[in-house]
Amino acid sequence: MPIDKQYHFIAGFLIYLIAQFFVPLGYDIAIVAAVGTAKEVDDYLTKKGTPDINDLLYTIYGALPLFILKILF
């Protein structure tokens, strides 16, 4: 996995880890998706980065293990 995708995965994991303490189940994963989307929109509008749907997906993938564990337990 490219280093950029690893950073997105870790960012999604950390965003979820923090968000779960402040919002109800379901909203936490939505926050991860919203932050990831905002990052890609910022990349597109400012031209400082390369917008990529896969970056967004890897951000969400980072949150999924915690989300699934929280649902199961």
4-49 pLDDT tens trace: 999 999 999 999 999 999 999 999 999 999 999 999 999 999 999 9
Which pLDDT value is given to residue 1?
A: 85
Instruction: Report how far residue 12's alpha carbon sits from residue 33's, in angstroms, rounded to the nearest whole number.
Output: 8
21 three-class SS: coil
Number of domains observed in the structure of the chain: 1
- Full residue range of the structural domain in which residue 49 is found: 3-72
C-alpha 46, offset from chain centre: 20
Global pTM? Answer: 0.93
